[in-house]
């Protein structure tokens, strides 16, 4: 048993999402969004090196010492899998471990909007799940992929850094590749995936021009492509996809994106008011009458008006989701306000409802 393993077991038992180790600091765990100190003893340099080096491969440790950062996954039988991030910082060595549950939660049990439940039924095109780190993007996509796996006979390829949820073949056939271990980059793996008879491709991060370009091209060719970005709204996601390209290519990219984009879900995680876990507020944009023209013309500012006019398709802004949570007493007004995208409009809504922020 590795020195780290008891801490990981304790982390899972406590319902924590992340374990933080830092030289010169006590051990901390994030439980329901709050960082709690779980040991008063500061971690020494010797402690950190011993713990970190023990659970990674020799080549990974060498890479970390050369590049000062490392991402990989670690599995502990009977407990779960963990996404590991190593870093160097002002005080010395640091590491963060995030829980990846062994069991994939069925999509219907995630308390997500109905529109997301339909993502697995989309035949082709580009579907994006966005949001900041720790907003539940990986969990949502794993459940969508699992739903396809359970119900459809398709070839699914995932490209991740690192592999988080491990999928067993059910009705579908799944190929999972990890950047750094099975392929040199997202772009290279995606370039090859297009030639590997895919029905569905999951791109763990669309972080550069080449990867984004290949993902849009694959979606245009009839593949169902799922991807993630760190944007926090549907309009910003569309802007990000287009702005990454040189200005001379943006007209062509808008046309390609207009034809291939099927849906965007932008997630924010909030603490529940009763302290029992967290809940996702999700902005939903789905393809319907008029969206292609908006994207093709570059009129991104019209997206929210389009969403309002087509609410029957399941669309909503994240602020509308937050208002609903506050009305249902699921989250505090303070937390919802901090996550809202249009602070002025949110304040006006609270005034109308007679809701005051905590001092």
140 and 84 belong to one structural domain: no
72 and 113 belong to one structural domain: no
57 and 141 belong to one structural domain: no
Place of tokens 């995030």: 98
**Is pLDDT larger for residue 79 or for residue 172?**
172
189 and 300 belong to one structural domain: yes
If we measure between CA atoms, which residue out of 271, 305, 273 comes closest to residue 288? 305
If we measure between CA atoms, which residue out of 99, 126, 107 comes closest to residue 9? 99
What is the separation of C-alpha 28 from the centre of its chain, rounded to a whole number of angstroms? Answer: 23
Name the residue range of residue 88's domain: 5-100
Domain final position from 70, 100, 130: 100
The CATH number of residue 289's host domain is 3.40.50.300
- Contact partners, residue 352, CB within 8 Å, separation at least 6: none
How many folded domains does the chain comprise? 2
94 and 142 belong to one structural domain: no
254 CB-side CA count, 13 A: 18
The CATH number of residue 19's host domain is 3.30.450.90
87 and 141 belong to one structural domain: no
Res 115: pLDDT: 95
User: In the predicted model, what is the mean pLDDT of residues 316-341?
Assistant: 95
Res 134: pLDDT: 85
Could you give the residue ranges of the DSSP H alpha helices within 194-233? 209-220
183 and 302 belong to one structural domain: yes
Rounded CA-CA distance 245/251 in Å is: 10
**Is pLDDT larger for residue 103 or for residue 86?**
86
Rounded CA-CA distance 285/66 in Å is: 42
pTM: 0.88
57 and 114 belong to one structural domain: no
160 and 38 belong to one structural domain: no
What pLDDT band is residue 33 in, cutting at 50, 70 and 90?
confident
Domain final position from 69, 100, 131: 100
86 and 135 belong to one structural domain: no
Res 277: pLDDT: 85
**pLDDT over 70 for what percent of the chain?**
99
What pLDDT band is residue 359 in, cutting at 50, 70 and 90?
low
In sequence order, what DSSP letters do the residues of 232-259 get, joined into one string? SSHHHHHHHHHHTS-GGGHHHHHHHHHH
Residue 263 located in a structural domain: yes
Residue 210 located in a structural domain: yes
**313-328: b (≥16 Cβ within 10 Å) or e:** bbbbbbbbbbbebbee
282 and 164 belong to one structural domain: yes
Q: What is the pLDDT of residues 89-128, one digit of tens each?
A: 999 999 999 998 778 999 999 989 999 999 999 999 999 9
307 and 190 belong to one structural domain: yes
């Amino acid at each position: 048993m590795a020195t780290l393993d008891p801490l990981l077991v304790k982390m899972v038992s406590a319902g924590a999402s992340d374990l933080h180790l830092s030289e010169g600091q006590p051990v901390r765990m994030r439980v329901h969004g709050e960082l709690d100190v779980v040991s008063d003893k500061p971690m020494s340099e010797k402690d950190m090196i011993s713990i970190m080096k023990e659970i990674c491969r020799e080549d990974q440790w060498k890479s970390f010492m050369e590049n000062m950062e490392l991402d990989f996954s670690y599995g502990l039988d009977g407990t779960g899998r963990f996404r590991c991030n190593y870093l160097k910082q002002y005080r010395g060595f640091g590491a963060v471990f995030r829980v990846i549950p062994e069991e994939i939660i069925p999509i219907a049990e995630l308390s997500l909007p109905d529109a997301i439940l339909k993502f697995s039924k989309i035949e082709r095109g580009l579907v994006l799940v966005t949001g900041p780190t720790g907003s539940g993007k990986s969990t949502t996509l794993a459940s969508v992929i699992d739903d396809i796996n359970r119900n459809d006979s398709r070839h699914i390829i995932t490209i991740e850094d690192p592999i988080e949820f491990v999928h067993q073949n059910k009705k579908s056939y799944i190929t999972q590749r990890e950047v750094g271990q099975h392929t040199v980059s997202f772009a290279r793996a995606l370039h090859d995936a297009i030639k590997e008879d895919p029905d569905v491709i999951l791109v763990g991060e669309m972080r550069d021009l080449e990867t984004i370009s290949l993902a849009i091209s694959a979606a245009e060719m009839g593949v169902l492509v799922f991807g993630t970005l760190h944007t926090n709204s549907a309009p910003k996601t569309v802007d990000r996809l287009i702005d990454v390209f040189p200005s001379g290519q943006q007209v062509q990219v808008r046309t390609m994106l207009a034809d291939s984009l099927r849906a965007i879900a932008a997630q924010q995680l909030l603490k529940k008011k009763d302290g029992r876990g967290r809940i996702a507020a999700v902005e939903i944009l789905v393809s319907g009458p008029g969206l292609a023209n908006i994207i093709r013309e570059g009129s991104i500012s019209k997206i929210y008006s389009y969403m309002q006019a087509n609410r029957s398709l399941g669309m909503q802004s994240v602020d509308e989701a937050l208002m609903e949570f506050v009305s249902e007493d699921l989250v505090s007004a303070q937390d919802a306000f901090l996550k809202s995208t249009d602070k002025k409009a949110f304040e006006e809504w609270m005034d109308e409802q007679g809701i005051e922020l905590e001092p």
